[in-house]
Amino acid sequence: MTRPVLIVEDDPDIAEGLKYNLEREGLETRVAPTGEQGLQAALDPKNPPALIILDLMLPGMSGTELCRRLRREPQTRRTPIIMLTARTSEAERVAGLDLGADDYISKPFSVRELLARVRAVLRRADESSSPRYDDSRLSIDFDDMRVTCDGAGVRLTRKEFALLTTLVRAAGRVATRQQLLDNVWGYDYYGDTRTLDVHIRRLRQKLGPCGDVIETVVGVGYRFTGCSGTKAVTSDK
């Protein structure tokens, strides 16, 4: 990977520690101490980041507002974001993820855990030329992150889309709860596993008439069954 990891963090000790450990992993890094500087660095057309590590508590433009701005910009709409913050409540974590963050880690944090999450997010981001899924009712464009059911658009958060993508790519096979947590959350999840059930429930609700494509396999996990017996998955749009 040649593009840098952008660290948006106002605490110089934390920023320097992150920079040191990421560069030991062979990752180029850039540091921005404010939201405004982070936005400018993220939108740099000559050297756009491959990943953004974003502190929520920033002077000036908050990390929350910066995340919202980045998700509105075409250039950074799909750039992975890991939120870094001292806030620990479930509601705040969910709010951050719903804004479009790919992962969330609370301070103080383990460097090993952070690096594992960075590697996992970059690995998912580097997956090339995702196919498009189509059946008689459900259509998913993985590149553009668009979902339609019976011709109507379905608005999903990034986590919900990642969960649907993981299930579709394992179509017909059972995806265990731990596999889904590892693949979608990007690390061995140590929190409440009900988080997965909540996301599955929301995903089914948002899919509406197509919500039954996700089958519960009691005691094991979930399986994507599709809306019809004939499914088409192609590598071209």
- The answer to whether residues 136 and 115 touch, using CB atoms and an 8 Å cutoff, is no
Q: Domain ranges for the chain, please list them.
A: 5-125, 132-234
Written as one string, the DSSP assignment of 145-192 is: TEEEETTEEE---HHHHHHHHHHHHTTTSEEEHHHHHHHHHSS---S-
- The pLDDT tens digits for 196-218 are 899 999 999 999 999 999 999 98
CATH number of 132-234: 1.10.10.10
User: Which pLDDT score is estimated for 152?
Assistant: 94
Give domain 5-125's CATH superfamily: Response regulator (3.40.50.2300)
User: Which pLDDT score is estimated for 166?
Assistant: 87
User: Which pLDDT score is estimated for 204?
Assistant: 95
96-125 exposure pattern, b = at least 16 Cβ within 10 A, e = fewer: bbebbbbbbbeeeeeeeebbebbebbbebe
Q: In the beta sheet, which residues pair with residue 199?
A: none
- Residue 99 exposure: Cα atoms within 13 Å on the Cβ side: 23
User: Which pLDDT score is estimated for 29?
Assistant: 96
User: Which pLDDT score is estimated for 172?
Assistant: 80
**Domains 5-125 and 132-234 are alike in CATH topology:** no
CA distances from 125 to 78, 122, 128 (A): 9, 5, 8
Q: What 3-state class would DSSP assign to 141?
A: strand
Residues of the chain with pLDDT below 50 are 1, 128-129, 188, 229-237
Q: In the beta sheet, which residues pair with residue 105?
A: 84
User: Which pLDDT score is estimated for 232?
Assistant: 44
Instruction: Indicate yes or no: pTM above 0.75.
Output: no
User: Which pLDDT score is estimated for 85?
Assistant: 79
| Euclidean distance between CA atoms 169 and 174, whole angstroms | 11
Nearest to 100 by CA among 67, 138, 133, 134: 67
